[in-house]
Structure 1
């Protein structure tokens, strides 16, 4: 949780997310990393950028019917960066990832609707940014309908999700720095 404690939010919304995440960890401890904690639990995801084309990878999530970045449940793992990498490999077959910075890229709390007897709950998502230039190796698994490597300037053609647009803005700043 040291990474989260050191994370500097870019908005009041992210500040509230950080406070809620730290409170969840303080009250639930490592149980906060298990989906058996039905009200809320930690997840991790990956914002993947091709540094040459300046495209990002989005997957069309079957259950949620939305374009999102790869990610998923921690399932007891407290190293959320490792969870993000594992989820990328499972969901996209990509392995050649280069963590851009040894810090959290973004945080988000979002509501997951009830599904197959699992009640509505919150995902406390911790996101890491990676460079990957093996985009031709991208494959998807059963959790997604499709994938797109899309230029940052065209993200809105797929989604207007506020957290995706926030990460898009952060990416532009990040890419201007390289």
Structure 2
């Protein structure tokens, strides 16, 4: 996927969730900025993440992020790569050890824009996160890396106890039940 294909996917993206539809314009505006796939764009930049469920579809893989001290789906910075599906898979493999995954659906699964707090020399900024849904072929092959405190398969019906009211994560759960 390149920038033009991503723009087309976002333009055509439909969701029953009003907050996602409201974000589409901001994504499209950001994609007009040359270095939007680079962390050097201080106002915010494109990231990609992976919503990964087990083969039964009743658990999701989350990591307890070391820097943010929250349970999140695997994902990270594009670092110049416009192929956001590849970015999501690369981050998934680096953060969880999972290599054998199947794309659950073609195209974008979820869109989210969220604030990242200032840290060291990085000012507060926004992540424009493009999310893709996957199924893990071998869910028992997970291994955490140094970026997280923990890595776990979380039953979807217990998700709220891990993420509290984090609406964007609960929205992805709701999409699984739809």
Provide the TM-score with structure 2 as the length reference. Answer: 0.93
Q: Is the 8 A contact 2:114 2:128 kept in 1?
A: yes
Q: Which runs of 5+ in 1 are unaligned?
A: 174-178
Structure 2 partner of 1:69: 73
1:107 aligns with 2:111: yes
Q: Which has the higher helix share?
A: 1
Structure 2 partner of 1:172: 177
Flag as ranges the 4+ runs of structure 1 deviating above 4 A.
none
Which segment drifts farther, 69-78 or 148-157?
A: 148-157
Aligned-residue RMSD, C-alpha: 1.0
1:10-89 map, 5 Å = 10-26=16-32, 28-29=33-34, 31-52=35-56, 54-89=58-93
Q: Is the 8 A contact 2:115 2:126 kept in 1?
A: yes
Q: Is the 8 A contact 1:45 1:72 kept in 2?
A: yes
Q: Could you list the per-position Cα deviations for residues 58-115 of structure 1 after superposition, in whole angstroms to 9, with x for gaps in the alignment?
A: 1000111100000000000001000000000100010001001111000100000001
Structure 2 partner of 1:123: 127
Provide the TM-score with structure 1 as the length reference. Answer: 0.93
For residues 156 and 30 of structure 2, the distance between their equivalents in structure 1, rounded to whole angstroms, comes to 33
Q: Could you list the per-position Cα deviations for residues 12-46 of structure 1 after superposition, in whole angstroms to 9, with x for gaps in the alignment?
A: 211121110001112x03x1000000101000000
**Cα 1:9–1:19 shift into 2, 3 Å:** farther
Q: CA deviation at 1:53?
A: 5.5
For residues 34 and 119 of structure 1, the distance between their equivalents in structure 2, rounded to whole angstroms, comes to 15
Instruction: Indicate the SS of the match to 2:140.
Output: helix
